[in-house]
Structure 1
Amino acid sequence: MSFNYFMPTRILFGKGQLSNLHKQKLPGKKALIVTSAGTSMKKHGYLGRLEEQLKIAKVEYVLFDKILPNPIKPHVMEGAQLAKDSGCDFIIGLGGGSSIDSAKSIAVMATNEGDYWDYISGGSGKAKPVPNDPLPIVAITTTAGTGTEADPWTVITNDISNEKIGYGYDKTFPTLSIVDPDLMMTVPPHLTAFQGFDALFHSTEGYINVVANEMSDLYALKSIELLGKYLKVAVNDGSNEEAREKVALANTLAGMVEWLSGCTSEHSLEHALSAFHPELPHGAGLIMISEEYYTFFAKSGACDKRLVDMAKALGKLDAKEPMDFVTELAKLKKACGVDELKMSDYGVNLEELDKIAKNARETMGALFNCDAAQLSHEDVVEIYRKSYK
């Protein structure tokens, strides 16, 4: 039994917790609020509620609202420059994973020189050590998908080189995270599904990861269990408060799994897809490749017991075969209305699958080392091809 448990984030979880922000010891006096380029944060009043909390706390703020669903390096650099020019001493990420991830990356570049890609390891990144600590980060999540409120990871795309790469270290954990299911009630059904499956795969990948440990296993199986029971309810009835709360908890647990264990090559495969096709939502891409991906491992014989464990957690209590997990996964996809997603609807074509497979290994090849059975280039192409519609 061996694990390294480090969790420096204070998490306020529960209905109405955003209203308690002003009571917390915030890490500065002037914040850069990082949020999406869309209208939902203003439309649903979430930005206004945050601004009200900051005013009560006597914290000044500057707004940077340009973040895309698949965030890009130029916005990291622009946000960091705004933080510097405005004298901000901490960063608040408000929104989904893209906004909070961007907040983390902006926090790094607000205190360091050069280009963000100087510090990225993988692909064309220079893997330089970060000289100065990032600005403190506060995460306020309005979705249940990435778990980024409970881990140090951030995923940014280099839009020039089509490289979508994860990054993070101890100092990019949020100092404070608010997980308030009230902020998730307005997420539409299809996005609830995309985000929920992203959380699910963080947990399933963490459970079959070769570095999985006792602590990550506890969180992973609980997260899978919650999503198996409540995700379809949240998708089909977004006003169900219990389902929203349980899915939010599953997501936060999945973020902890990502840190204690980590992703496998499934995320490498999807990052390559959405690097070339940024209009493809990350969760949707994962859903598209998931059945063929887990079928590969079920047939490999490398993690049979763990696949059976996950099938039981997902709802098939009498599971005995590795493929039972794939069967349960297919049932959940159907119940959530995402079983007919097509790569072709997002501009992906068969002719580029080889190029995308190369990108997966060149940019996030380290995750292939976490797989219980080794995927060859040809295996990756075949997973894409069989998943293609």
Structure 2
Amino acid sequence: MQFDYYVPTKILFGKGQLANLHSQKLPGQKALIVISSGKSTRENGYLARVEEELNLAGVLHIVFDKILPNPIKTHVMEGAALARKEGCNFVIGLGGGSSIDAAKAIAVMATNEGDYWDYVTGGSGQRKPVPNDPLPIVAITTTAGTGTEADPWTVTTKEETNEKIGFGYEKTFPVLSIVDPDLMLTVPPHLTAYQGFDALFHSTEGYIAKTADPISDLYALKSIELIGKSLAKAVANGKDEDARADVALANTLSGMVESLSSCTSEHSLEHALSAFHHELPHGAGLIMISKAYYTHFANIHACDDRMIAMAKALGKTDATSAMDFVDALCALQSACGVAELKMSDYGIDGNNLEKYAANARETMGGLFLVDPARLSKEDCIRIYEESFR
């Protein structure tokens, strides 16, 4: 039995924790606050609260507010240029996974020359080593979806080539993360569901991946259990503080799973969809392909014991077969009102699914290597076909 454990982020978890930001040892004197291009961070008062905390700490700050739901390289480079121009010496990602992911990428490029894609290791990335340490990163999450507050990963799209690729290394872990479920009470039901299933799949993929270890297994099963217990409740009543806290903890645990294990090709297959269709929420794309994806592994008996364990964690305590997990997954999607999502509603071309299968392998082919069994190109196309409507 061997494993490496490295999750160096300090995490403040729980109701009201944002109010403790000013009392923390912050990693600099001037922050670039990275938020989305939407209105919610300002309208809900979250930006103002963070700025007040920084004022109490005597920390200067400026705001970069262009991040899209699927972050793009152009904005990474623009945010990094602003950080350099303004003399910022740390970056705060405030918002959902997109804002925090973008903050990590901006932190890398604020201290390094060239283009962000010089350092990306997939697709057309140049795979160069990063010469200078990134700026320190503080993550303040207002959603429960990506687990990015507890892992080093960031996902960015290169618009010119439709490549959506993950990147990260030990230096892109946040030094401090605040997970305050109070900041999630305003997330609307459909986004609560999309984000919750993203967190679920980080844990299920990390649990069936070849890279799983005894510690990631503990975190994964607990995360799956919490989502099975409380995601539908959070979708039905966004003001349910206990449900929000459960899903927030599940999300943070899923980030730890990602730090210790890995995603599988489910994420590669979804990234190929949202790389071409930027308006497709990542979690929604994962939901669309998930039934066919896990049914494939159940049918070939690639990881029966692990799928049975996931079914039990998700609430089907009498599970005896791998398909019991698929049944529990579909039941949860129905309970959350997302079982009928359609690829065609987002402009995905059902007559050209080979394009997405090829993109998945070309950009994030490494994740196929940790699948519990080999997925062929034909398998990928069939998963898309069975998912399409």
- 3-state SS of paired residue (1:337): coil
Alignment of 1:309-388 (within 5 A): 309-388=309-388
Deviation of 1:7 after TM superposition, in Å, equals 1.3
C-alpha separation in 1, matches of 2:183 and 2:54: 17
Residues 288-345 of structure 1, C-alpha deviation per residue, up to 9 Å, x if partnerless? Answer: 0000000000011110000000000000111000000000000000000000000000
How far 1:112 moved relative to its partner?
A: 0.1
Specify the alignment match of 1:180 in structure 2: 180
Secondary structure (helix, strand or coil) at the match of 2:171 reads helix
Q: Deviations over 1:24-52 (max 9, x none)?
A: 00000000000000000010000000000
d(CA) in 1 for partners of 2:353, 2:278: 16
Residues of 2 paired with 1:122 and 1:94: CA distance?
A: 27
Cα shift at 1:197: 0.1
Q: Corresponding residue for 1:296?
A: 296
TM-score by length of 1: 1.00
Q: 2:151 matched to which residue of 1?
A: 151
C-alpha distance in 2 between matches for 1:211 and 1:105: 25
Aligned residue in 1 for 2:306: 306
Q: Is 1:109–2:130 an aligned residue pair?
A: no
TM-score (norm 2): 1.00
* 1:76 maps onto 2:76 in alignment: yes
- Amino acid corresponding to residue 3 of structure 1 in structure 2: F
Residues in 1 aligned to 2:65 and 2:122: alpha-carbon distance in whole angstroms? 28
1:261 aligns with 2:250: no
Partner of 2:30: 30
User: 2:5 is matched by which residue type in structure 1?
Assistant: Y
Alignment-derived partner of residue 55 in structure 1:
55
Give the structure 1 partner of residue 129 of structure 2: 129
Q: Percent identity?
A: 71
Residue 230 of structure 1 corresponds to: 230
Distance 1:372 1:247 in 2: 27
Which residue pairs with 1:11 in the alignment? Answer: 11
User: Can you give the 5+ residue segments of structure 2 that lack an aligned partner in the other structure?
Assistant: none
Helix, strand or coil for the counterpart of 1:52?
helix
> Displacement, 1:350?
1.0
1:352 positional shift: 2.1
Cα distance in 2 between the residues matched to 1:102 and 1:113: 17
Separation of aligned partners in 1, 2:25 and 2:372: 43
Secondary structure, in 3 states, of the residue corresponding to 1:192? helix
How many aligned residue pairs are there? 389
Which residue identity does 1:62 align to in structure 2?
I
Give the Cα separation in 2 of the matches to 1:321 and 1:5: 31
**2:197 is equivalent to residue 193 of structure 1:** no
Equivalent position amino acid for 1:354 in 2: E
How many Å separate the matches in 1 of 2:274 and 2:310? 27
Indicate the residue corresponding to 1:39 in structure 2.
Answer: 39
Partner of 1:142: 142
Could you tell me which residue of structure 2 aligns to residue 66 of structure 1?
66
1:286 and 2:286 correspond: yes
Secondary structure of the structure 1 residue equivalent to 2:58:
coil
CA RMSD of aligned residues (A): 0.4
Shift of 1:351: 1.9
Aligned AA (2:135): L
Q: Deviations over 1:163-222 (max 9, x none)?
A: 000000000000000000000000000000000000000000000001100000000000
What amino acid does structure 2 have at the position aligned with 1:92? I
Question: Which aligned segments of 4 or more residues in structure 1 are displaced greater than 6 angstroms?
Answer: none
Paired residue for 1:244?
A: 244
